[in-house]
């Protein structure tokens, strides 16, 4: 036993002195995470010596990590807030935003729900608890089960800003952790309403908002009321031609846009 421990320590120390490759650390949003994953896998194939790590702890943590110098790129599903900016500047970090893709936050219901369309005012009133039955908005006589993302997610912030207009949500709203959970909850509950990203529409019905259905086109041109850009943030403008520069501008290439589409997001540009 003692021998084993000694040799384990020796191995660990020997390995720590080995040559280190170039690294790229990405931290942040669970929504942008899949894009970062796909980009990272592609970069790993192109630059075998590059070591990329991706961590998905939420947009807020991504911003903090960038400010504290714990990562090279922060992935965020919302823009940095003023206080985060001032903290960054105080820390001698200068955040530069790269808008890499668009995402639609889709309001979804159970596929058995006969509701054809909702206005953003109706959705707001449902989440405020003023409308409690689907029959009030042209549906069947079914009580509404309201599902929301937890308040630390970027998706929640988008929803709060664009739909709730800073009005508080009702007491009875059920909060879930992530897109897959919200989707699963709505898919299995006939009276449920929730909101998820564009990539999570299987088994649920996306309701048109103000008469506009969430599709790649309506999200790309911003006519769908719940469209939002997704960001990467770097500390300052990365050196031209460096790996971070290539990474944050990869969305401009055809390959990058293909990957964004394959992950069910909407590329910024049409090639």
Interaction site with other proteins (CB under 8 A): 5, 8-9, 12, 15-18, 20, 25, 30, 33-34, 36-38, 40-41, 51-57, 61, 68-70, 111-114, 135, 140-142, 177-181, 183-184, 190, 199-200, 202, 205, 255, 258-259, 261-264
Residue 120 corresponds to which tokens in the numbers above?
Answer: 């953003």
**Given the complex with other proteins, which of 59 and 183 has the nearer CB atom?**
183
Output 119 or 133, the one with its CB closest to other proteins.
133
Please identify, using beta-carbon distances, which residue of 61 and 235 lies nearer to other proteins: 61
Query: What letters, b where the CB count within 10 A reaches 16 and e where it falls short, cover 232-269?
Result: bbbbeebeeeebbebbbebbeeeebbebbeebebbbbe
Cβ nearer to other proteins, comparing 70 with 246: 70
Question: Measured from the CB atom, is 210 or 264 closer to other proteins?
Answer: 264
Q: Cα(167)–Cα(162) distance, rounded to whole angstroms?
A: 11
| Closest alpha carbon to 55 in 42, 45, 65, 69 | 65
Q: Work out whether the CA dihedral 79, 76, 234, 257 comes out positive or negative.
A: negative
Cα three-residue angle 29-73-30, rounded to 5 degrees = 10
Closest approach, Cβ 168 to other proteins, in A, equals 25
* Angle, helix 254-262 to helix 33-46, in steps of 10 degrees: 140
Beta strand extents in 3-124 (DSSP E only): 23-28, 51-56, 73-76, 95-109
Closest approach of Cβ 238 to other proteins, in Å?
18
Q: How far apart are the first and last CA of the chain?
A: 62
In this complex, which beta carbon is closest to other proteins, that of residue 121 or of residue 262? 262
Find the angle CA(248)-CA(237)-CA(24) to the nearest 5 degrees.
Answer: 50
Nearest-approach distance from CB 159 to other proteins, in angstroms: 18
Could you tell me the smallest distance in angstroms from the CB atom of residue 189 to other proteins? 12
CB 166 → other proteins: shortest distance, Å?
Answer: 27
CB of 1 to other proteins, least distance (A): 8
């Amino acid at each position: 036993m003692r021998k084993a421990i000694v040799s384990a320590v020796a191995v660990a120390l020997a390995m720590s002195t080995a040559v280190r490759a170039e690294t790229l650390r990405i931290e942040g949003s669970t929504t942008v995470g899949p894009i970062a994953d796909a980009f990272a896998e592609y970069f790993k194939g192109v630059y075998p010596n590059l070591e990329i790590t991706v961590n998905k702890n939420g947009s807020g943590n991504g911003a903090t990590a960038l400010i504290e110098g714990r990562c090279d790129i922060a992935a965020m599903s919302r823009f940095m807030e003023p206080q985060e900016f001032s903290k960054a500047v105080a820390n001698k970090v200068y955040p530069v935003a790269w808008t890499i893709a668009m995402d639609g936050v889709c309001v979804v219901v159970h596929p058995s729900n006969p509701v054809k369309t909702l206005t953003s005012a109706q959705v707001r009133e449902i989440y405020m608890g003023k409308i409690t039955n689907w029959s009030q908005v042209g549906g069947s006589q079914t009580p509404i089960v309201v599902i929301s993302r937890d308040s630390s997610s970027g998706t929640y912030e988008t929803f709060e800003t664009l739909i709730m207009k800073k009005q508080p949500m009702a007491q009875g709203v059920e909060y879930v952790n992530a897109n897959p959970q919200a989707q699963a909850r709505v898919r299995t509950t006939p009276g449920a309403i929730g909101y998820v990203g564009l990539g999570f529409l299987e088994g649920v019905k996306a309701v048109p908002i103000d008469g506009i259905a969430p599709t790649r086109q309506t999200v790309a041109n911003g006519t769908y009321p719940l469209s939002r850009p997704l960001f990467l943030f770097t500390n300052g403008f990365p050196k031209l031609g460096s790996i971070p520069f290539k990474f944050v501008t990869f969305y401009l290439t055809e390959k990058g846009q293909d990957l964004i589409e394959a992950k069910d997001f909407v590329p910024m540009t049409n090639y």
